[in-house]
Amino acid sequence: MENKTTYRVGDAEITRIVDWNLTHFKTPQLIPEWNNETVHDLPHSHVESTDAAGEYAPLSIHSWLVRHRGRTVLIDTGAGNDKLRPYAPYFGRLQTPYLKNLQTAGVAPEEVDLVLLTHLHVDHVGWNTRLEDEQWIPTFPNARYIFSHKEHAFFTNPANSTERNRTSFAVQQDSVDPIIAAGLADMFDADEYEIADGFTFHATPGHSIAHQSIIFRSTGEVALFAGDLMHHPVQVQRPQWNSVFDALPEEARASRMWALEFAAENNALVFSSHFSAPSVGRIQRIGSRFAWTFL
């Protein structure tokens, strides 16, 4: 595990739990509008979030562990081990030390109280379950798993089973449906869904049909768990640049702008899902644009 860094937001301690790092994406494959010359000319472009030549953009796959007033919360659960992913082979049959990393942070799977899922893509729900005796069982057996009903309904409706969505359909079968069958799922339909102790889901569709960001408030401080609204810090300065994974381009741009405005206005600590380590920072308004600063 990379050196554990714990952040404080109000009464909460928040720790990055690494699953693994994805290094094979070329920058234009990730963000089709990427142009090295344009990016290098941007102030605060964070070209260090690419390789030396600006050719590849490494992505971190991780969860956020939140310990707050006696409650243990995981936000997203990475890609998981042992999963068959024929249409996304870089996620297939993984053997990562995720659970060991969680234990190094001082938490056993049985101690997790809540699992909050921003959306139901392959790299956000994989550790919902683990393989035991050829069965997918809940990794966090004492937790309530909370996620959008609309998102699950979309990825289980045969009418939406397209080439783009085929991995997400497989993901429901081994990483989401077993949670529902075990009676551990709480699905919600509202655009704003408040959970006890300061957590609120806020609808930010575009990356997926019902993508949610999570706002957390504690003793006057604010955090934003942005999910997949952004995959690279350059999108803070170029919010019109979508990633290749954004299913609904215009909605994705609108949701990204909401997040930038919210973070800047509330001085929120922003916890990203895929920015390279440390994956945490703040967003500042500079004139009509925004800038990202790693913490």
Cis ω before 278 (30° cut-off from 0): yes
Q: Is 236 helix (H, G, I), strand (E, B) or coil?
A: helix
How many angstroms separate the CA atoms of 146 and 143, rounded?
9
How many angstroms separate the CA atoms of 7 and 83, rounded?
31
Residues 6+ apart with CB under 8 A from 47: 39, 40, 54
How many angstroms separate the CA atoms of 74 and 107, rounded?
11
- pLDDT value of position 51: 74
For β-strands 192-195 and 185-188, DSSP reports them as unpaired
- For the chain, helix (H) and strand (E) counts, in that order, are 9, 16
The Cβ-side half-sphere exposure at 191, using a 13 Å CA radius, reads 4
Q: How far apart are the first and last CA of the chain?
A: 19
- pLDDT value of position 131: 98
- pLDDT value of position 43: 66
- pLDDT value of position 3: 47
Write out the H or E segment, with its range, that includes residue 177.
Answer: helix 177-181
- pLDDT value of position 47: 61
> What sign does the dihedral 102-268-192-276 (CA atoms) show?
negative
Q: What is the DSSP letter of 133?
A: T
Domain 6-294 has CATH 3.60.15.10: yes
pLDDT tens by residue, the chain, 295 residues: 344 589 999 999 999 999 999 988 889 999 999 887 778 777 665 766 777 667 888 899 999 999 999 999 999 999 999 999 999 999 999 999 999 999 999 999 999 999 999 999 999 999 999 999 999 999 999 999 999 999 999 999 999 999 999 999 999 999 999 999 999 999 999 999 999 789 999 999 999 999 999 999 999 999 999 999 999 999 999 999 999 999 999 999 999 999 999 999 999 999 999 999 999 999 999 999 999 999 8
What distances in angstroms separate CA 172 from CA 22, 71, 167, one per listed residue? 22, 27, 9
